[in-house]
Chain A
Amino acid sequence: DQQVKQNSPSLSVQEGRISILNCDYTNSMFDYFLWYKKYPAEGPTFLISISSIKDKNEDGRFTVFLNKSAKHLSLHIVPSQPGDSAVYFCAASERAGSYQLTFGKGTKLSVIP
């Protein structure tokens, strides 16, 4: 039973355009969400997070939107750059629990120059 789902294994976007990566979750106890970026031969690196008390969090070119009623979050990258090409993982946590992270399978983003 996959509690965090990233249904698009891959996404290609032109440089300068918007990249939108989507994530759905099924566990209503999740109340904190994170996005990680992973380059080949490296470990995942933290990108941005959002608490369930918010519906939007922005950090430079990266914005995460949370729709709790739909159990859906998305990561927007504007404008997309070739260096953004990586695998993006969505992760979720129950703050009232042990703060373990549950990860999605990842979406490979390719930004085409």
Chain B
Amino acid sequence: GQSLEQPSEVTAVEGAIVQINCTYQTSGFYGLSWYQQHDGGAPTFLSYNALDGLEETGRFSSFLSRSDSYGYLLLQELQMKDSASYFCATRGNQAGTALIFGKGTTLSVSS
């Protein structure tokens, strides 16, 4: 099976940088995705890493190290609207299966 571990909560202030870590255990690996979910809303896709290294999308970046079974989401220039839950996710242990999610990290940004 698969499991993904991430911290339950992270707090930061506006303008700061925060890193949300994710470690995974999978019998096969088909990349690591990140999703954002605001309170009461639906999850939305943020980024995806298939290979080692950093992927940058505006203020958000995602990093993957396959040898360490580890990835992280980096949020820069934090804004109040970034307060949300963030989930790492991977596909199942064979290609073409559904996404499996970590339990999520709640980010609280204060002024």
User: Are A and B physically bound partners?
Assistant: no
